[in-house]
Amino acid sequence: LPIDPKNNSSYYYTFMSGENYFELDCILESKTYRDKMTTDGGSRSDLYEVGTSIGLYKLSKLPQSAYIKAYWQFEEASGTIYDQTANNNNGTYNGILYQQTGKIGKCLGFDGDDFVNCGSDDSLHLTNVTIVAWINLDIAPYTYHSIYGHRDNIDKGYLFAVRPTHLDFTTYGVADVQSDAISWTTDQWYHVAVTYDGSNIAFYLNGEAKGTGSASMNAWDTTNVLSIGKAHGGLYFQGRIDEVIIYNKVLTVSEITTLYANGSPTR
């Protein structure tokens, strides 16, 4: 008899997230096909994963997952960049560098004029926020290299960027706050994060605290568009970006350290 003649819950899982996303997982019984569990592109090497979004298991296991407002894995080979949450904050990639080698699986490349337009949905207009990403620089930063830009045509919104010797968080029209000093190396993956509660800012690099600051911000406007890889009017990123997560919550140091540790295995 097969291991699981009655579909025991110990041997199969189904995950749903949003209207058009699903993941179906199972343990393969045949030794002949078990290697497929490690090469299916999913987040579990001990399960065979199929579906429209085979990172949903990972989403459910992230710290404070109920507060995730958007999660872009950048695994797509073409077309829409899908948000893995039920908020459907899908993006449009203005570039051609799909499926670059990522920190986890594949990622998107940004060569100085590429970016992802993630729209202006209210679910992204956050005052309590944590922004997390893996980045890899092609060149030494010489100005603002934008990771996350969220601004309209006037001074409302904020920017998270790499600068020559710092991470930077700008609340437009109010303040520009920098992390402690950082010595960047090209072609190396960094886990970067910033938290902001409407006043206090904290930076993190590779799971460790990297300085604090404070700034207020102007009220959100409904036209604020979120872009990954650029700021309003330019300041493009040059390199690769992977696993961008947006929380409607200020994460703790230990939670950010956990996110950094989650980036060690390969999907």
Classify burial at 189, counting beta carbons within 10 Å of its beta carbon; exposed 0-12, middle 13-18, buried 19 or more.
middle
Which pLDDT belongs to residue 5?
Answer: 44
Q: Which residue has the higher pLDDT, 127 or 9?
A: 127
pLDDT tens track for 198-210: 999 999 999 999 9
Reported as a single tens digit per residue, the pLDDT across 7-64 is 444 444 444 344 444 556 666 666 565 566 556 555 555 566 666 555 545 666 788 9
Q: What's the confidence (pLDDT) of residue 234? A: 84
How far apart (Å, rounded) are the C-alpha atoms in residues 109 and 152? Answer: 24
Question: Could you state, in order of their start, the residue ranges of all structural domains in the chain?
Answer: 12-57, 65-262
Q: What angle do CA 107, 222, 251 make, to 5 degrees?
A: 50
Q: What does CATH list as the number for 65-262?
A: 2.60.120.200
236 CB-near residues (< 8 Å, 6+ apart) = 110, 112, 113, 114, 115, 145, 146, 229, 230
Q: What is the mean pLDDT of the chain?
A: 83
Q: What is the pLDDT of residue 232?
A: 80
